[in-house]
A and B are shown apart, each in its own frame.
Chain A
Amino acid sequence: MSSTPPTTGPFATKHDDRPTPRPGFVLDVDRSTPPILFHHGEGFRLEKLPAGRTRVVYGPEPKAGLAHPDAAVEHALDHPLDSEPLSALLFSGMRLTIAFDDASLPLPQMRRPDVRQRVIEAVLDRAAAAGVDDVHLIAALGLHRRMTEAELRHAVGDRVYDAFAPDGNLYNHDAEDPDGIVDLGQTRHGEDVTLSKRVAESDLLVYVNINIVAMDGGWKSTATGLTSYTGLKQHHNAETLQQSRSLMDRHNSELHKSVWRQGEVIKANGPKIFHIETTINTNAFGYDGPLSMLQKREWEWNARDRAKFMGLQAGLKAMSMRARRAAFINWRSPYEMTSVQAGDVDRVHEATLERVLDQHITPVEGQTDIVTFGLPYTSPYSVHSIMNPVVVMCWGLGYMFNFYRGRPVVREGGVIIMTHPTPNEFHPVHHPSYIDFFDEVLRDTTDPVQMQAKYEQRYAEDEWYRHLYRTSYAYHGVHPFYAWYWGAHALQHVGQVIVVGGDPTAVRRLGFRPATTMMDALEMASDTVGPQPTITHMHNPPVVMADVT
């Protein structure tokens, strides 16, 4: 029986009092421009940027969410792209595996119910109708840390967790299980392809994705989330990532090309896949509430917004770092689902990319001498954790730098200025190999190619790191290398990286230069790019991707 209200369709969007979302735009800074908001870890900065030679890139405002997300999910499952409806693929006695994205998505965590929960419940309802008993649910985390019970409950919901976890049928993927990984062959370029044994032996894999940036989804979900080190190192390496221009532009990313080749092998030798992708808007801090001013344009802050910001700053100042982290970690974003599509992996991902880019893209004319980023308190590799210096590098040079299509926002040989406290601190449970990487590898070299040749294999095959990855909540031993390679393209492209407000020791270890203030950083940058450089600030939030012409 239908559970949709008769007067509305599955793709109707919410109609609230909010004005129509505005597209992104580029602001030329003049003397009347107010100070601009920068994330600064577990805090914020307001920076007055030089007039006449600075521009600020704002992303499009959050798109309206779907008014009836459950109805949209049901419609997508029943009317898939290039595939039979899900119900037609399910039968009694089959082996069904449902894989879903791990805790690294979305950022920050979204308010309940998580999009994955909505989709998985709809999938399971159809499986129950078909009488499917053999169902496994796997968190597709690749070499990320295992998800805790609380994180799993948040992602799939209590109903699903309580129905499957007690019997051991809901669990984290284990890339180091010697009996749990199978070899599917090689790509036409000779790249090895491995896959979870349970997935490979299933009659159907249903992958449930949550897509927040253009890098996610498609074959990357299966080929990286459910594989092993052997499969990942084919594309997670310094050479491939130096050629991925950019990571957010799937058709110009060497990493994605390699992953798609692995996808061809999975398609040929692996299980049948029913792929489900969802997109969410950029409403990370809400349209009202204590943090809503963060995603408003500065000149539109009213007296209430300014009061809230000053109160927030004063409150954060009075808090210890531990309390600040706890406060931000507990923030749940009111993201809204903007689309859901299901069926064939390639068709689904193209539809998803269109939606994601529609939400993120802002056209930008020409490159700049200096690009500035404000780095927030969280990243995909520091969920419920500490944003250590290596993750700071990865977030700034791996993610923020790669939010472009066409050409990088900063010219070759230009300067990146980031704001973040970059504490010389590591989460001992989540990041044990990061600690050694920081102390041993970065002390020796910051060159991705060199460290790959000299250190990667030892870290990847270290038994202690392997043990912690499998039994504790630690990232895999090789993961800090991957985090570093993520910034390989930026390291090759820019002449200098400056961190404003960062711990000098940690920043220098990364090979960057510390600066106390933004003005100091701009002064230091002129050593590399000359006097009176042009500056572009990538405003965040909301997330913005520059289409540079």
Chain B
Amino acid sequence: MTPPVTRRGPVKDLLGTRATRLLGRSVAGRKVRRRVTSVVRKTQFPLRAPTPPVGIEVRAVKKKTGADYPTEWARTPPARAARAALVETVLRPIVAGLARPDRLNADRLIDLDGPVIFAPNHHSHLDTSLLLTSIPRHLRSEVIVAAAADYFFTNRVTSTLSALTIGAIPIERRKIGRQSADLASDVLDEGWSLLIYPEGGRSKDGWGQPFRGGAAYLAIKANVPVVPVYVAGTRRILRKGSAIPRPSKTTVNFGKPIWPTEGESSRRFAARIEEAVAVLGDEIGGGWYNARLRKHAGLTPGLGGPAVSSWRRSWALGDRGATAARTRPWPNA
């Protein structure tokens, strides 16, 4: 006997399956959930991915993450507009509340037109947000960020978020290759300015790391100036390894743009950029003219700190190493 035919729509079809009914009751208990899992496991292609036939070598599919993640879409007008709105309405209030930034010497960039490379020291994830809200308005809208491919572009979600929110492009820092350099060079040629951390990563102990040649190489290749920037105080808020930010005060000091000289190697230029950033740091602590005096006398304190044992390096950080104190009334109020 043929069962009676009843007309059911696709929704009813779906709701009517045993699996979905079970799903609906899944809150009931562990037993039910286990049954759901077993049903899901039993699903077949096309609901599940196909398994390759035995003996067939499957062609490797290139993963579109890491240095291969395509970021062109993040430089289109709609993405730029979204990013600008995000920076002004989300990042700026967060930075203002968390970092209370003191932005110094932006007037040094008043005659500057893009593209340029911003080369700051790097202590914290907060550095990028702080800089994106501190770079002078006439340059800000066309800044993209060189971000570590192995950290920010590990999967589609983080890649998309990084590209959208900070305009990140992936830079390979663990292996030598032309792909990242060519991408960065291309975006500079297109007129974009680049924010790149020449140290290659955040500080581990509060002192700076030697500047790598990437920013210098790009500046020479694209014939664009480098703006040295010194960022202070972000480590107190969100240092490497910590997850909870603690509000504190920060300072961003912009330096005069510097150009590579004729025939200058990227290593020498990188050293010059590092020296310029160190002088900016010295300006914050000791005043502009004293910093100039020390620079010309070759006495500018380096970013790397003293070459002594780790506890003495930590000791030498002084206030810079201190974590913002939690205010707790004493003794137990």
Binding site for B on A (CB under 8 A): 1-7, 68-70, 112-113, 117, 124-125, 128-131, 133, 135, 157-160, 162-164
Contact = CB atoms under 8 A, between A and B. Distances in A.
B122 to A, nearest CB: 24
A129 B225 CA distance: 23
B289 interface: yes
Given A1-B261, A4-B259, A6-B259, A163 B225 contact: no
A131 B105 CA distance: 24
B272 interface: yes
B175 interface: no
A131 B293 contact: yes
Contact of A112 (B110, B289, B297): B110
A70 B255 CA distance: 14
Contacts of B262: 6
Of the listed residues B110, B288, B292, the one surrounded by the most CB atoms of chain A closer than 10 A to its CB is B288
B293 A1 contact: no
B257 A163 contact: no
A3 B257 contact: yes
A163 B105 CA distance: 13
Interface string B260-301: 011000000000100000000001000111101101110000
Contact of B259 (A3, A125, A131): A3
A162 B288 contact: yes
Nearest to A163: B289
14 contacts: A2-B261, A6-B223, A112-B107, A124-B292, A125-B292, A130-B296, A159-B105, A159-B283, A160-B289, A162-B288, A163-B287, A163-B288, A163-B289, A164-B289
B292 A69 contact: no
Contacts of A112: 107, 110
Given A128-B289, A159-B105, A1 B258 contact: yes
B274 to A, nearest CB: 13
Contacts, number: 57
A5 B259 CA distance: 6
Given A3-B257, A163-B289, 17 more contacts: A2-B259, A3-B256, A5-B225, A7-B223, A69-B111, A113-B107, A128-B289, A128-B295, A129-B292, A131-B293, A157-B107, A158-B104, A159-B105, A160-B289, A163-B288, A163-B290, A164-B289
B256 A128 contact: no
A70 to B, nearest CB: 7
B111 A70 contact: yes
A537 B73 CA distance: 59
Contacts of B297: 131
Nearest to A111: B110
B111 A68 contact: yes
Contacts of A4: 259
Contacts of A162: 287-288
A13 to B, nearest CB: 13
A341 B293 CA distance: 25
Contacts of B105: 158-159
A128 B257 contact: no
Contacts of B225: 5
A130 B296 CA distance: 8
A221 to B, nearest CB: 23
A68 to B, nearest CB: 7
Contacts of B287: 162-163
A316 to B, nearest CB: 28
Nearest to B272: A1
Contacts of A1: 258, 261, 272
Interface string B80-107: 0000000000000000000000001101
Nearest to B292: A128
Contacts of A163: 287-290
B294 to A, nearest CB: 8
